[in-house]
Amino acid sequence: MDLYQSAKEEIKRAVDIVELIGQFVQLKRAGQNYVGLCPFHSEKAPSFSVSPAKQIFHCFGCKQGGDVFAFWMAYHQVPFPQAMRDLAEKYYIALPEGQPGRSSRGEAAQREALLRVNETAAQYFHQVLTQTTKGKPGRDYLQSRFVPEDIIASFRLGYASEEWDGLASFLEARKVDLEKAAQAGLVIARKSAGYYDRFRGRVVFPIFNMRRQVVGFGGRVLDHSLPKYLNSPESPVFQKGELLYGLHAAHGAIREKGRAVIVEGYTDGLALHKHGFCEAVATLGTALTREHIRKLKGYAKEAVVVFDADAAGKAAALRSLPLFLDEGLSARVLVLPENEDPDSFLNRHGAKAFLGLLEAAVPIFDFYLDLKMTEAGNRIEGKVEVLQEMIPLLLELKNMVQRALYVRRLSERMGIAESWVLAEIQKTSAHPSGERREQRLGEGFPQAGARKADDRLLLGLFVHHPGVIEQFVERHLNRLVSDATILRILDLMVQDARREGELLPERVLETMSGDPAAELLREAVLSPPICRPDEVEQALNEFEDRVHKMRISESKKQALGNIEEANKIPKLIKKRWG
């Protein structure tokens, strides 16, 4: 075993996969395993399962799965070498010198280079803000917004001066590759030669990932120039549609309080943190996305979305409702008074007043309905349009009690009988669109798949009752397996058991990295046993009977033109049942 393999095994021994994944996904015990909503695709019923005994995870919906490294790579979108370094650092495990994973070295090196450039830039911006005369406009602005020094320090706020090449000169003096800085979106190449700064005359907000690494920046102007906010461009380490500002600092409070408060701006998020609402996060100048909600539901039981009272704020609230329903995260809406944003409201009225608004926030469905009914007025056609819009949303609700309450709310608000609303729901449900029908056919946990029952049962016997392997071989039960993929998995497990002296399905899974067949094996491992221990021998005997019947059937076919073969049939029958 090489040094990296040894370190990998040490990391796997140190990491409890349930504890690790539980930091990002809300898990509940279900028998011997834990289940939750998958962080990698949209779902309302949990199909994501984690096995503490086998130290693996698997989603029966999207088929994503593997060990602790596979989860870290998929969740944080990093290659294996980075995942190994992250987990080693997190669990205080020393790695040997050098770089693991040759195939991903180039990608990992690029990410590391961009992160180093971003870190250097963050230090520069923070230093300019806090220690130079050039940073006075930024300090004055933050003071006018009542941002205290502890928030400035903990969120590492900075300032980009009006100079065209302040950062570029700073990076060049420190031998930083300016081409890498350009890839990170910090500087822009001139048409002639050299580079100039992207961020100038702006308060700078470093944006962190969940490992507290600086992946990008947001800059706000101090006057009425446009654009008001400027973000780093997309890069291998920065995707603004997937990042929430402040989540690196807020996730603990979100988990503790059970809620996330979502605001639209950087300063709004900081104002909430300053006043004790440490469960606050902010979007990066973009609309709320499915990826944002998927991240939050790993920590929060509900989200409170804070929108401005203007038309744009209300429109944003309307767009977010289907996303919350799709992702199965409960949400409420807090609409601020006219001409107020969270920052101004908190500074003017204080934390107690904001807490009152927070506690009075209405369910997002009610907010949606009230807004739509206000728009419809007393027009019959308008009410019909509202009903047509609401029915598909009601169908998204899998909780029947919640749906019944919303049906009552809808009927009362529209002035029509509940029975008519229920009839419309039933009619729409009976004739879903092709896409919705396909989605519903795909729901369920776990899914058995299209493979024959014998194939699945034999695979399940191997996984949950490893002692059957030798009998499987001796009784020639492989003749019953019709699926080539399952037969290959069974062969691999037989080889593993004979080589190691015992079968460990998770060890076989490691040898199948990147093999599509690993999905089937993970599903078998994380599915409940098909047979109880006292039923295993009976199952083996039944399988052996089928093998003998197959042999007799084959002999009959061969005997049609061969007398000698026909004479073997009574012998086979006598051997089995005589």
Q: Residue 80 gets which letter from DSSP?
A: H
Q: What's residue 466's pLDDT?
A: 76
Per-residue model confidence (pLDDT) at position 440: 35
| Residue with tokens 């065209």, as numbered in its chain | 164
What is the C-alpha radius of gyration for the chain, rounded to an integer number of angstroms? 30
Per DSSP, the three-state class of 300 is: coil
Helix (H) or strand (E) holding 393: helix 380-395
Strand order in the sheet with 65-66: 28-30, 33-36, 48-51, 56-59, 65-66
* Residue 562 pLDDT: 59
pLDDT of residue 449: 41
**Residues of 271-307 as b/e, b for ≥16 C-beta within 10 angstroms?**
bbbbbebbbbbbbbbeebbbbbbbbbbbbbebbbbbb
pLDDT of residue 572: 59
Residue 392's nearest CA partner among 337, 443, 433, 359 is 433
Residues 6+ apart with CB under 8 A from 535: none
Strands 302-307 and 330-335: parallel
Evaluate whether 560 touches 554 at the Cβ level (below 8 Å).
no
Q: How far apart are CA 212 and CA 543, in angstroms?
A: 56
- Give every CB contact of residue 151 below 8 A, 6+ residues apart in sequence: 157, 270, 273, 274
Residue 161, CA distances (Å) to 118, 177, 232, 247, 362 in order = 17, 21, 17, 27, 43
| C-alpha atoms less than 13 angstroms from C-alpha of 360 in its C-beta half-sphere | 8
* Of the candidates 454, 516, 458, 510, the residue with the CA atom closest to the CA atom of residue 485: 516
Cα-based distances in Å from 463 to 49, 201, 529, 531 = 16, 63, 9, 11
Q: Which residue has the tokens 């923070």?
A: 126
Measured CA angle at 165 (ends 159, 166), to 5 deg: 40
Per DSSP, the residues of 143-194 read HHTT--HHHHHHTT-EEE-S-SSHHHHHHHHTT--HHHHHHTTSEEE-SSSS
* Measured CA distances, 101 to 80, 106, 516 (Å): 7, 10, 21
Q: What angle do CA 488, 493, 499 make, to 5 degrees?
A: 125
From CA 461, how far away is CA 454, in angstroms rounded? 10
Handedness of CA 64, 69, 71, 76 (dihedral sign): negative
CA quadruple 462, 464, 467, 468: dihedral positive or negative?
negative
**pLDDT per position in the chain (578 positions), as tens?**
455 677 888 888 888 999 999 888 889 998 889 999 898 888 778 899 999 988 999 999 888 999 999 999 888 878 888 888 888 878 878 777 655 544 456 777 888 899 999 999 999 999 999 999 999 999 999 999 999 999 999 999 999 999 999 999 999 999 999 999 999 999 999 988 899 999 999 999 999 998 899 999 999 999 888 888 899 999 989 988 889 999 999 999 998 999 999 998 899 999 999 999 999 999 987 788 888 988 898 889 899 999 776 667 667 777 788 888 877 788 999 988 888 889 999 999 999 999 999 999 998 888 888 888 888 877 888 888 888 888 887 777 766 777 788 888 888 888 888 888 888 888 877 655 444 433 332 333 333 343 466 677 778 877 788 777 777 777 777 777 777 888 888 888 888 888 877 778 888 888 887 777 888 888 888 888 777 777 778 877 877 777 777 777 767 666 655 555 556 656 655 555 44
Q: Which pairing describes strands 33-36 and 202-208: parallel, antiparallel, or unpaired?
A: unpaired
Q: How many CB atoms lie under 10 A from the CB of residue 319?
A: 11
* Cβ atoms < 10 Å from Cβ of 315: 13
Q: Are strands 259-263 and 302-307 parallel, antiparallel or unpaired?
A: parallel
Q: Tell me the C-alpha distance between 24 and 18, whole Å.
A: 10
